[in-house]
Structure 1
Amino acid sequence: MPYLWSVVVVVVALVALGLLVVSALRPAQRLSTVAALAGRQMGDEVGMLKARLAALRVRLAQRRG
């Protein structure tokens, strides 16, 4: 009979560990989503900056020559 209590304790511990892991993964997934969106937006802004610099170089080349 003492084995029964050991099995019950192990099952309860596994369930508690599962709940802890699930609750820890939710904020991690949210952080990953926000980081991806921020990276994408920063990439867009860098692309626009590169385009503006290229246009400026073209305009300066036109003025010189």
Structure 2
Amino acid sequence: MSFDELLFRAKAGDMEAKTEIFAMYRPLLIKNALVNGRFDEDLYQELAVELMKCIRYFRDAE
């Protein structure tokens, strides 16, 4: 399945698609949740929430 289709399904509320996208971006979220070399759980959670918002508010190119 292409990323476009996965994103479309996630935006439509498909939890499996959201989970797959989250798994794809998890390493990036972890990397960006490091503060002074230490993992910040709160920051990780905030980044995860923002990822889900980005999926919800993504506008298709028409």
Class of the TM-score when normalised by the shorter of the 2 chains: 0.3 to 0.5
TM-score (norm 2): 0.34
Larger Rg: 1
The structure with the largest strand share of the pair is 2
Larger relative contact order (C-alpha < 8 A, sep ≥ 6)? 2
